[in-house]
A and B are shown apart, each in its own frame.
Chain A
């Protein structure tokens, strides 16, 4: 397809600008010639061309509304439309962040109640909604941990992170000046308790744990893990990326987690927008409430207001109050589902994942055979060994069957990993046809491996040269 710059023609435009109803001033005199730009190089396109350009681009994109999207760890559930309509209400979209609090009582109430609901769901003492995404929430969580030890006048240098963890965990720790030590997984995919014992010293600030972990397995020894960390004065951090696995079943706060971050764009159904916006609330236990970012909403005599009067706060991590409009969608979701609905969502998510796991088990290696939670992780190692077909080939072939591929090559501890997260909003029929496709691909890998390796063939472009893209980067069109 042509670039927007390639369809540009001098003299065209889509958006017009009204004539001025106030006297024009001489810009050069008012601002000063040396501060003004000489050229403005933007595309010039008529409205119909602009609409066709972006509409045609959209047709080269795949979203949940088009089909099954079992991207593991990303919880690509259906994004309910009522959420979008609620969030589009002018009362929510139209307020300036610095409007006086009395004019923003609806927003403040929503934020306040959302925090309370999240506390109830996750068993934490308090939440902040300021972080703009999951990784931002992690960073905020680790900052809170840093502040906690600063306040206690303890210098702890290390954060422990399991080998199966998301890459954001070590990156977030490093951004707070911590040294990262890797914690091994045991043979059943859980924390290697002995290794944890040996690493857990008084130099360790925290263990960052994803539970269920990235293998989709619940940490059976969680009580022991929490005890080992706490005994040495450390804190237990929970990466809530996989929270869709346990709503209404167990609460991280009850399990001993001191800090958790969520991803509203995963568990709470807000759309991911092709890469964002997300929202990454952080919940903390009682001992850490004072360190939360400011401002925080406080309620007094049924009135809500912002307060910055928290001297031990880490400060701000974002301007204003976070991705408010994303929070509106998640709030709508919680209110429309209620406690029962949230629990049913988790139950159906876990049922779906186990169903897929059972159906595909005979055809793909399953490194950990236990009951899984909301996602299951296969390995394409058999297809590599027997047919020279790699996981990436299987993923690309799935595209030709009309699916978005699962997450691949993650977690790193599973070779040729295929991580499938169906989510609760998919029907048995969808899972059945998906499994049929996966089985057909396993068969084709044996009989006609080249057919798998040449996929996809139904897309506007075939496999792209990523090496070229990195060696001779072209990230800005030069005309």
Chain B
């Protein structure tokens, strides 16, 4: 393929206009001894037909499952057709960041609407235009809390997604913060007693997820009280965003920040990315939060319009004093999320309820099998943990039938031997579940 429209004659004319005899002259600033003639070890160019057939072969080496019972931070939901049709519009996807507001009103308004929907959904007063993913959103909240408070201790629940904890640890190490983990109680919720013991006046932030990694709904209000009593801020995340269709959001329960993964809203699994980090906050943090913010204003004629605002928080203005270094975000994924939420509207509640029905059905059916038991008694949304006699064997059996089983928790939680974290979204039919039970009988 060649996407350059230059004919030999064009090149000749352009060289003449510049006053050079050959293209090579344009590269004369590069010291000769370092110049190369050709990139080594790259396969030959391909035609479009060959490209597509090569890529199809590569995609064909992946084995798509019949269905999946794993969530664990990435959720298989139905995406209404409207989402792809809107994000597929080249006016949106081939644009850059909306620096020039007058010709970017489309994405600016769409993001403003997204910010509003996310703020309502999370029970906060504002949300930014998105971060990279749920994990980095949580890590950025850590940095912000530490900067604002001058404190350097971070408390994170052990029931937060293992990879999120790793990302938080990486960012914390780079900034010299100390990360303390708080265990979960027998219920599957955070151990509030231990939390209170570990909280002191050095703690900048407390980090939890609700639902947490085990699918368990946390008592966010009590956690918020504990954190605030010691002057710490609470950044609460969630696992599957669709849970917000029925669950009281952390922002309404006292969390200062709500940070989580927005993939569930209209974005495919995509083997882990691109996803979008949701970052929402109480109004008082507006001038400190990381990331882009779209604000409404008026033009010279008093007409409503939208701009990127409060940019003095950002790296291109404040450089090393900026809140964060983030520049590109996940705008197109946020657009997908906005369209998804607008498409569902109040049906998000029904969708969430359907997830609960499927989950309870799967859970109850599995518990009817001999040797299976519940691990955590606390309420769950669409994920739950069960213990069985041999978790690996269960997944192998399912795999043979083209089904992805549960997530094996043992690798992140050695104490949770032979436990599986299952997820049942609306994509799982009764027939699917009955088949699983048939296989495992």
Contact = CB atoms under 8 A, between A and B. Distances in A.
Contact of A319 (B23, B44, B163, B353): B163
Contacts of A464: 101-102, 297-299, 305-307
Interface string B223-265: 0000000000000000000001111110010000000010000
B106 A470 contact: no
Contacts of A30: 356, 360, 379
B129 A275 contact: yes
A298 to B, nearest CB: 17
Interface stretch (B12-20, B190-198, B200-208): B12-20
A76 B294 CA distance: 22
Nearest to B220: A35
B426 A17 contact: yes
Contacts of A18: 354, 426
Contact of B116 (A173, A247, A476): A476
Nearest to B140: A175
Contacts of A53: 342
Contacts of B367: none
A307 interface: no
A5 to B, nearest CB: 7
Given A275-B97, A468-B297, A135 B327 contact: yes
B415 interface: no
Nearest to B249: A37
A27 B356 contact: yes
Majority secondary structure, A binding face: loop
Given A250-B35, A336-B51, A351 B23 contact: yes
B36 interface: yes
A223 B31 CA distance: 8
B300 A463 contact: yes
B430 to A, nearest CB: 4
B107 to A, nearest CB: 4
Given A90-B59, A336-B46, A477-B116, A97 B271 contact: yes
A37 B247 contact: yes
Q: For A14, A347, A476, which residue has the most chain B Cβ atoms within 10 angstroms?
A: A476
Interface in B146-192: 161, 163-164, 166-167, 169-171, 173-176
A104 B307 CA distance: 42
B113 to A, nearest CB: 5
A-B complex: 6 closest residue pairs judged by Cβ atoms: A320-B272, A91-B59, A273-B332, A338-B45, A61-B106, A275-B331
A58 B93 CA distance: 10
Contact of B34 (A254, A339, A459): A254
A461 B297 CA distance: 11
Q: Among the interface residues A37, A66, A220, which one has the most CB atoms of the partner chain B within 10 A?
A: A37
Interface residues of A, number: 199
B309 A475 contact: yes
15 contacts: A43-B342, A55-B89, A58-B106, A90-B59, A104-B63, A117-B42, A217-B29, A246-B27, A274-B107, A274-B331, A276-B330, A320-B163, A339-B42, A399-B100, A464-B299
B6 A94 contact: no
B55 to A, nearest CB: 4
A79 B345 contact: no
A51 interface: yes
Given A177-B174, A321-B271, 17 more contacts: A13-B347, A20-B354, A25-B356, A30-B379, A47-B343, A82-B48, A167-B322, A177-B175, A222-B31, A272-B94, A272-B96, A319-B133, A326-B273, A335-B54, A350-B27, A424-B4, A475-B296
Nearest to A348: B4
B105 to A, nearest CB: 4
Contact of A474 (B86, B249, B296): B296
A89 B39 contact: no
Contacts of B3: 77-78, 80, 269, 337, 345, 424-425
Interface stretch (A194-202, A282-290, A352-360, A438-446): A352-360
Nearest to A71: B96
A146 B399 contact: no
A25 B358 CA distance: 10
B269 A93 contact: yes
Contact of A465 (B45, B58, B297): B297
Contact of B273 (A24, A218, A324): A324
Contacts of B326: 133, 135-136
A66 to B, nearest CB: 6
Among B96, B110, B343, find the residue whose CB has the most chain A CB atoms closer than 10 A.
B96
Contacts of B341: 42-43
Contacts of B38: 248, 339-340, 343
A9 B429 CA distance: 32
Interface in A313-342: 314-326, 328, 332, 334-342
Contacts of B102: 396, 399, 456, 459-464
Nearest to B89: A58
A425 B5 contact: yes
A62 to B, nearest CB: 4
A94 B268 contact: yes
Contacts of A139: 174, 325
Interface in A96-116: 96-100, 102-107, 109-110, 116
A167 B317 contact: yes
B112 interface: yes
A350 B14 CA distance: 11
**B4, B133, B173, B311: which has the most chain A beta carbons within 10 Å?**
B4
A124 interface: no
Contacts of A335: 43, 46, 51, 54-55
Interface in B277-320: 286, 292-301, 303-307, 309-312, 314-320
Given A15-B344, A90-B59, A278-B328, A272 B97 contact: yes
A150 B210 CA distance: 36
Contacts of A236: none
B393 interface: no
Contact of A143 (B92, B170, B249, B327): B170
A99 to B, nearest CB: 6
Contacts of B346: 13, 40, 42, 44
Nearest to B44: A338
**Max chain B C-beta neighbours (<10 A), residue from A42, A271, A320, A340:** A42
Given A32-B379, A170-B320, A217-B29, A316 B167 contact: yes
A437 interface: no
Interface in A219-269: 220, 222-223, 246-251, 254-255, 263, 265, 269
B332 A35 contact: no
Nearest to A217: B29
A45 to B, nearest CB: 6
A89 B62 CA distance: 11
B134 to A, nearest CB: 6
Contact of A405 (B23, B100, B430): B100
